[in-house]
């Protein structure tokens, strides 16, 4: 395939469609350290949709809810529950990104559109991807407002230490048999490559099994693992997601930190729930991953996982689902050389996930 005539510079924002944007935003602000930077709603003349824009270093979330019945957002929530609608990319040219995506077989969600306010001009366009999820292309020409035209800037005084740095990767779950076609979509539309993969021989516990391929763009800033369930004795966690989200969708966002111990301790003190790690996981940890700088006693106390490869190691931990349906969750990750995805932890992790599935009656 020929080279793209535009480039994807990174993740721009993720937009969440939720039932109660005000309360969801409060959770991300207070439990996860995000700051409210912009808003649109009835007070700004937006009659159908309310949106809170949250920021933490390079991470931007839009939390949106409908303000009346019979809206697309309401329909989305009715079908999927709270979840991520849009994974947006910052691009060098939103018109060309849209045109090339369409010519490579993607379906349009929004034709290129120029939006401006007194702070400058932005061009946006969107295409559909798996399930009801979309990718918006954002071309920030000379824009120097807080977020995007149409939002009112909020100057929130925040005491949060802003410990989360950027989006490390975003994972999409697919129904059985749909992982490869989804990866082919990204190869065809964006010329992305396969960065890393695991199959069910690598990842299976007694019950739960999955296959995964990580797709990445040319500068490797965008990493999107694509999962599908694999046959197991009982229900795969990926299948549980599909059953409750009703289709493909975003399973987790991995957010990076420079100090996972401080970050996780803070989030726990604010009520964020993490998956439990079996205490036996820490026996022989050093012989599995090699020497690490962190105190294993503290990692054990917090349940933080470690994995290593030839380039170094990584520390990671996973939250429980962030809404009542067992769908979206977050991963907190600190990389110390390793660019992989914690394959060595999948077994310990899956056993913990299966315990939660069992409590929900879904195993």
In whole angstroms, give the CA distance from residue 209 to residue 184.
22
| CA nearest neighbour of 172 among 247, 97, 77, 88 | 247
Q: Which stretch binds Fe ion (CB under 5 A): 193-201, 205-213, 246-254, 271-279?
A: 246-254
Using CB under 5 A as the binding rule, whether residue 331 contacts Fe ion is answered as yes
Cβ proximity to Fe ion: between 81 and 172 the closer is 172
Smallest distance from the beta carbon of 252 to Fe ion, in angstroms?
6
Select 100 or 331, whichever has its Cβ closest to Fe ion.
Answer: 331
Q: Tokens 């937006």 map to which residue?
A: 46
The position carrying tokens 């303000």 is 67
Looking at the chain, which runs of residues are DSSP E strands?
8-17, 35-40, 49-56, 59-66, 83-91, 108-117, 120-128, 134-140, 152-153, 164-173, 193-198, 210-216, 223-229, 249-257, 305-309, 312-318, 329-336
| Candidate segments 80-88, 208-216, 304-312, 331-339, binder of Fe ion by CB under 5 A | 331-339
Nearer to Fe ion, 93 or 331 (CB): 331
Least distance CB 173 / Fe ion (angstroms): 12
| Interface segment toward Fe ion; rule CB under 5 A; list 90-98, 191-199, 283-291, 326-334 | 326-334
Q: List, in order, residues 6 or more apart from 299 with CB less than 8 Å away.
A: 261, 282, 285, 306, 315
Interaction pattern, residues 278-317, with Fe ion; x per rule: CB under 5 A:
----------------------------------------
Residue in 254, 275, 322, 328 binding Fe ion, rule: CB under 5 A: 254
CB of 111 to Fe ion, least distance (A): 33
Closest contact distance (angstroms) between CB of 334 and Fe ion is 13
102 vs 165, beta carbon nearer Fe ion? 165
Long-range pairs of 242-247 with CB within 8 A, sequence gap ≥ 24: 242/173, 242/174, 242/175, 243/362, 244/81, 244/325, 244/326, 244/327, 245/80, 245/81, 245/83, 245/131, 245/173, 245/325, 245/327, 246/79, 246/80, 247/79, 247/80, 247/131, 247/132, 247/175
Span of 17-25, 33-41, 80-88, 247-255 interacting with Fe ion by CB under 5 A: 247-255
Residues 187-216 that bind Fe ion (CB under 5 A): none
Which own/partner pairs from 180-183 qualify as long-range (CB within 8 Å, at least 24 positions apart)?
A: 180/213, 182/129, 182/130, 182/226, 182/248, 183/213, 183/215, 183/226
* Segment lying near Fe ion (by CB under 5 A), choices 24-32, 133-141, 250-258, 306-314: 250-258
Q: How many residues bind Fe ion (CB under 5 A)?
A: 2
Given the rule CB under 5 A, which of 74-82, 125-133, 154-162, 253-261 is the region that contacts Fe ion?
A: 253-261
For Fe ion, which is the closer residue by CB, 132 or 331? Answer: 331
Least Å distance, CB 214 to Fe ion, is 9
Compute the least distance from the CB of residue 167 to Fe ion, in Å: 11
Q: What's the CA gap between 1 and 190, in Å, rounded?
A: 10
Q: Fill in the per-residue mask, 42 to 81: x = in contact with Fe ion (CB under 5 A), - = not in contact.
A: ----------------------------------------
Q: Which residues in this chain contact Fe ion in the complex, by CB under 5 A?
A: 254, 331
């Amino acid at each position: 395939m020929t080279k793209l005539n535009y480039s994807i510079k990174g993740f721009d924002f993720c937009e969440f469609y939720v039932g109660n944007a005000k309360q969801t935003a409060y959770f991300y602000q207070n439990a996860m350290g995000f700051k409210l930077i912009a808003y649109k709603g009835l007070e700004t003349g937006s009659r159908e949709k309310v949106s809170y824009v949250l920021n933490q270093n390079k991470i931007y979330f839009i939390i949106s809810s409908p303000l009346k019945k019979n809206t697309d957002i309401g329909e989305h929530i009715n079908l999927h529950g709270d979840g991520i609608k849009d994974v947006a990319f910052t691009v060098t040219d939103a018109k060309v990104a849209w045109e090339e995506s369409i010519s490579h077989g993607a379906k349009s969600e929004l034709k290129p559109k120029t939006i401006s306010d007194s702070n400058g001009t932005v061009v946006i366009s969107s295409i559909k991807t798996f399930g009801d999820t979309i990718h918006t292309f954002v071309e920030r020409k000379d824009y120097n407002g807080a977020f995007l035209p149409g939002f009112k800037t909020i100057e929130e005084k925040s005491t949060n230490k802003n410990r989360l740095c950027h989006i490390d990767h975003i994972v999409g779950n697919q129904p059985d048999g749909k992982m490869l076609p989804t990866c082919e979509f990204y190869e065809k539309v964006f010329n992305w490559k396969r960065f890393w993969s695991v199959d069910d021989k690598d990842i299976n516990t007694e019950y739960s099994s999955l296959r995964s391929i990580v797709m990445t763009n040319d500068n490797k800033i965008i990493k999107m693992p694509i999962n599908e369930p694999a046959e197991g004795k009982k229900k795969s966690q990926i299948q549980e997601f599909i059953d409750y989200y009703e289709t493909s969708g975003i399973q987790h966002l991995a957010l990076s930190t420079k100090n996972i111990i401080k970050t996780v301790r803070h989030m726990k003190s604010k009520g964020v729930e993490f998956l439990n790690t079996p205490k036996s996981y820490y026996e022989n940890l050093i012989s599995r991953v090699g020497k690490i700088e962190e105190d294993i006693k503290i990692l054990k106390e917090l349940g933080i996982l470690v994995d290593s490869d030839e380039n170094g190691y990584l520390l990671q931990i996973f939250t429980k689902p962030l809404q009542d349906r067992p769908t979206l969750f977050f991963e907190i990750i600190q990389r110390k050389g390793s660019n992989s995805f914690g394959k060595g932890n999948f077994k310990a992790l899956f056993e913990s996930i299966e315990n939660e599935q069992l409590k929900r009656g879904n195993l």
